[in-house]
């Protein structure tokens, strides 16, 4: 049954890809195979039950017949004792029938219990500090010799990463796909704990702070824009449930989302489909940015969250964020070097290690990896000047 559910869930969540590649017949075959396996298991279990139940009835009833035959041929016909014995045998038959039903249910429950026990036995990867720090952290972020590996992975996703960004600065992070950029920023809100070194926010180790309080100071814009069913207003208020219309307007303007929101007939009361299906990729990204900005975080993490925006809109968004979130540390991951080259500091990643850290000019002079990215996207200085 679990296998059938897995196939169905995977098909439904990937329905557009299946249609785009014309693989409906293949997915129908997968579902048919899983359904046939479930049917075969169900038929086998039903056959056992169909044999086991009547077999119990037959055995006990044969015992009653034997009891009556012995009582009738023994020469001493004590009707009271005979009927009491038959009554006891009937109760035994009823009890055995109940046991057979219990065994059938127990076998099914055992499979589910094992799955549940796996979850209950799992130890928490992160532990809350016994005496957490009470002060709200500021926007200073520092990594000290940080290493990190995912569970069951022998390779290090991050290896000896060290850098520091002051409160209010803009940090751009760039690197090839798989260089550890998203993993790195996931350590800031403590989605994972480091396997080596320390991550400091506000000068304090993130493991010494209460997780809920620590995350209140961080605005996270994930790589994949996640919106919830409901109105635009409901989605923006995830950042701050107490926000009024003025605060919503300010955050939407900073994310350049007010332009299309006001274009809807119902404005902020426009109802979104599941996952924001009735919005474009760029519109969903701008709403995600506005949702993070409305909470006025000390640290704003943007994990490649402007990839669906054109260059003009992206530049406008970053300019407005600087104006709206003065004093906020902005950490921006991007695949486009034009998006990060104007940041106060740039962190260039390569295979989980720091290839360079500093300003655009410094990295052009010191980091071969950064220069290669620059030339591949913009060209050399001569071409850029032309």
Least confidently predicted of 181-185, 275-279, 382-386: 382-386
Output phi, psi for 289, to 5 deg.
Answer: -65, -45
- CB count in 10 Å sphere of residue 207: 17
Q: How far apart are CA 152 and CA 147, in angstroms?
A: 15
Tell me: do 238 and 285 sit in the same domain.
Answer: yes
Per-residue pLDDT tens over the stretch 33-72: 999 999 998 898 888 878 877 887 788 788 888 877 777 6
Tell me: do 177 and 318 sit in the same domain.
Answer: yes
**Location of structure tokens 């902005």:** 330
Least confidently predicted of 129-133, 174-178, 193-197: 129-133
For the chain, what is the mean pLDDT?
85
Least confidently predicted of 88-97, 282-291, 315-324, 357-366: 88-97
Higher-confidence position of 13 and 153: 13
Per-residue pLDDT tens over the stretch 284-318: 999 999 999 998 899 999 988 888 888 888 888 88
pLDDT value at residue 74: 61
Rg, C-alpha atoms of the chain:
33
- In the chain, the percentage of residues whose pLDDT exceeds 70 is 96
CA separation (Å) from 297 to 60, 162, 260? 74, 23, 25
Question: Averaged over 207-226, what is the pLDDT?
Answer: 86
Output phi, psi for 121, to 5 deg.
Answer: -85, -15
Whether 135 maps to a domain, the answer reads no
Q: What is the pTM of this model?
A: 0.74
Tell me: do 82 and 165 sit in the same domain.
Answer: no
Q: Measure CA 377 to chain center.
A: 32
Tell me the three state secondary structure of residue 347.
Answer: strand
CB 143 within 8 A of CB 197: yes
Tell me: do 66 and 145 sit in the same domain.
Answer: no
Tell me the three state secondary structure of residue 65.
Answer: helix
Number of structural domains (the chain) is: 2
Tell me: do 372 and 331 sit in the same domain.
Answer: yes
Question: Averaged over 160-178, what is the pLDDT?
Answer: 90
Whether 129 maps to a domain, the answer reads no
Nearest Cα residue to 279 out of 294, 295, 263, 292: 263
In which band, very low, low, confident or very high, does the pLDDT at 184 lie, cut at 50, 70 and 90?
very high
Whether 42 maps to a domain, the answer reads yes
Tell me: do 147 and 206 sit in the same domain.
Answer: yes
Instruction: Tell me the DSSP string of 68-131.
Output: HHHHHHSS---HHHHHHHHHHHHHHHHHHHHHHHHHHHHHHHHHHHHHHHHHHHPPPSS---SS
Question: Averaged over 1-25, what is the pLDDT?
Answer: 88
- What does the DSSP 8-state code read for residue 269? G
Cβ contacts of residue 3 below 8 Å, gap of 6+? 34, 37, 38
Tell me: do 173 and 267 sit in the same domain.
Answer: yes
Tell me: do 115 and 225 sit in the same domain.
Answer: no
In which band, very low, low, confident or very high, does the pLDDT at 76 lie, cut at 50, 70 and 90?
low
Among the candidates 121, 156, 175, a domain finishes at: 121
CATH of the domain at 97: 1.20.1560.10
Q: How far apart are CA 363 and CA 347, in angstroms?
A: 9
CA separation (Å) from 313 to 215, 238, 256, 310? 28, 24, 8, 5
In which band, very low, low, confident or very high, does the pLDDT at 384 lie, cut at 50, 70 and 90?
very low
Q: How far apart are CA 354 and CA 349, in angstroms?
A: 5
pLDDT value at residue 229: 83
**Location of structure tokens 């129908």:** 28
Tell me: do 75 and 150 sit in the same domain.
Answer: no
Among the candidates 93, 121, 149, a domain finishes at: 121
In which band, very low, low, confident or very high, does the pLDDT at 381 lie, cut at 50, 70 and 90?
low
Question: Averaged over 243-255, what is the pLDDT?
Answer: 90
Range of the domain at 187: 141-385
Whether 130 maps to a domain, the answer reads no
pLDDT value at residue 288: 92
Whether 28 maps to a domain, the answer reads yes
- In the chain, the percentage of residues whose pLDDT exceeds 90 is 20
Whether 11 maps to a domain, the answer reads yes
pLDDT value at residue 380: 64
Q: How many CA atoms lie within 13 A of 54 on its CB side?
A: 5
Tell me: do 297 and 336 sit in the same domain.
Answer: yes
Among the candidates 86, 121, 156, a domain finishes at: 121
Higher-confidence position of 298 and 103: 298
Tell me: do 50 and 182 sit in the same domain.
Answer: no
Whether 241 maps to a domain, the answer reads yes
CATH of the domain at 185: 3.40.50.300
Q: How far apart are CA 334 and CA 330, in angstroms?
A: 13
Tell me: do 205 and 158 sit in the same domain.
Answer: yes
Whether 131 maps to a domain, the answer reads no
């Amino acid at each position: 049954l679990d296998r059938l559910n897995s196939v169905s869930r995977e098909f439904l969540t990937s329905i557009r890809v299946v249609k785009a590649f014309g693989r409906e017949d293949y997915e129908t075959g997968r579902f048919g195979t899983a359904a046939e396996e479930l049917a075969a298991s169900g038929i086998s279990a039903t056959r056992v039950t169909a044999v086991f139940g009547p077999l119990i009835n037959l055995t006990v009833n044969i015992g009653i017949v034997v009891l009556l035959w012995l009582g009738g041929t023994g020469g001493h016909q004590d009707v009271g004792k005979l009927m009491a014995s038959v009554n006891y045998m009937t109760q035994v038959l009823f009890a055995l029938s109940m046991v057979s039903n219990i065994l059938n249910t127990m076998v099914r429950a055992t499979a589910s219990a094992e799955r549940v026990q796996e979850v209950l036995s799992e130890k928490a990867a992160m532990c809350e500090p016994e005496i957490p720090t009470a002060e709200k952290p500021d926007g200073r972020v520092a990594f000290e010799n940080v290493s990190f590996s995912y569970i069951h992975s022998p390779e290090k996703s991050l290896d000896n990463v060290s850098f520091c960004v002051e409160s209010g600065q803009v940090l751009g992070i760039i690197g090839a796909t798989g260089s550890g950029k998203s993993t790195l920023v996931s350590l800031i809100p403590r989605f994972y704990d480091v396997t080596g070194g320390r991550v400091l926010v506000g000068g304090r180790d993130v493991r010494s702070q209460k997780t809920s309080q620590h995350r209140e100071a961080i605005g996270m814009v994930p790589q994949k824009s996640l919106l919830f069913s409901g109105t635009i207003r409901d989605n923006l208020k995830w950042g701050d449930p107490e926000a009024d219309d003025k605060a919503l307007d300010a955050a939407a303007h900073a994310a350049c989302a007010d332009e299309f929101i006001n274009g809807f007939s119902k404005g902020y009361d426009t109802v979104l489909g599941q996952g924001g299906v009735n919005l474009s990729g760029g519109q969903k990204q701008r709403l995600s940015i506005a949702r993070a900005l409305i909470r006025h975080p000390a640290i704003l993490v943007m994990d490649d969250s402007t990839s669906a925006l054109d260059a003009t809109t992206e530049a406008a968004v970053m300019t407005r964020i600087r104006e709206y979130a003065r004093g906020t540390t902005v950490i921006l991951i991007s695949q486009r070097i034009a998006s990060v080259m104007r940041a106060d500091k740039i962190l260039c990643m390569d295979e989980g290690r720091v290839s360079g850290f500093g300003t655009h000019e410094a990295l052009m002079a010191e980091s071969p990896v950064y220069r290669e990215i620059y030339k591949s996207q913009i060209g050399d200085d001569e071409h850029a000047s032309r």
